[in-house]
Structure 1
């Protein structure tokens, strides 16, 4: 009997779900007191709010640029438009931050003098808390998606930049010497040696980059926005609706897990050439 229920990798999911159920049960017992429920919410009402978000009402989202609307998307519930906004901001921030981080990282890694000149400013910028930039971006770009994208880009950029910089520095001198011996010029070295080395480091940091893009977007939405899941949480906080706040946190957590799973699948596909941990080359 004990062997059947003993925790192992076969029944791992069962125990993971069991831990979640125990957590909700303890939460339910602890919040039966109305005073406690005011601060910590009630799990049943939180789940009811999540259910209402995904089943009740309808939502729409105008897609365009500036004052011009190209088309309007309609959704079976309002939460989908907020999720789409948050996802769009996250993907834009990740893409822009990755491109800029890759370009600047390659440039400074291949230009030692320029890197030495800009080194203190890069370190100072990286050490600066990026949250303080949110009001500035809101003034520059308004409360639309671009102020959130800009804030998240500042988080993604440095992760990609330092990975690319380190990836270029880690290129084997033997590989460079062999490539030069075969007649490769600087442009060919960049395309066939430096860039593959840098992109492999970028792929290995996909989880961190996408995660920081997501965090930056949510913080930006929370500090000032007109749409997004962070906006829903901010509105609920202003109304002292703790159940809706926890519902927003629950939705964001599930959304982040789905995003992390997708990133893991992409990373596994892109990095399938990389040997597994502990794997040795076969002779």
Structure 2
């Protein structure tokens, strides 16, 4: 595939700028070096988000940057637009953030200050939630919803996990049971749960460590959701770390240093986060490395769903 990089750079007044391809899973991303710094040129994956959702992401990022969060700052094109269309592709440009990923999925964490890093992640997550609550979305603002239907409805955001072709009969039965009980529990508790704009994908790869500072990137999956879902997302890939309990406690302590959050249903949201990955991989079963990822996701789903289903609240 040939990306319309030359045409896109011209719209931002950066014709001839040094440009290197860096990533290509959900979006195709290029690092652009201009006279006033480095930027990420993003050619958005067709069909993943609507134009309104893409513009809203950029408006949200702009507001979070203005609130002092270390997030990618949108760069308007020469026309003043945050989002352009080039050769049928939605295209935007955001500031390039320095740092190295906090870690890689399924690899051991290699951090100099493990608990301190998780404390700062919890703190910055809480700052993001607080700033998002203070944000006044403009007319037409639209983002996906990680609500009860987005997680457990008939057409969840990340596919019908309970129908994955990779499930054996016992796991299929357990996930169906979990879905039924989890929906009932969420419907009962929904009014009391903290809900608002969330990142929804604060996994290791999307948290950049730069000295004592953390940078939050990749807001593709951000939208309206339960704040506990963000906590669960940041924790779930770390459950096999030898000091997981200490990391979990540090993240929660960091969050609570900024704002309050009731953690009573965190185990439920750990299970909800786990089953979303079982659904996420369904349309990606043929991709390289998918069998290993799928096995990992199923292991997590069995572990967290069993843990939640066997708690006294269901007896």
Q: State the TM-score, normalized to the length of structure 1.
A: 0.25
Between Structure 1 and Structure 2, the one with more helix by share is: 1
Larger Rg belongs to: 1
Between Structure 1 and Structure 2, the one with more strand by share is: 2
Q: State the TM-score, normalized to the length of structure 2.
A: 0.23
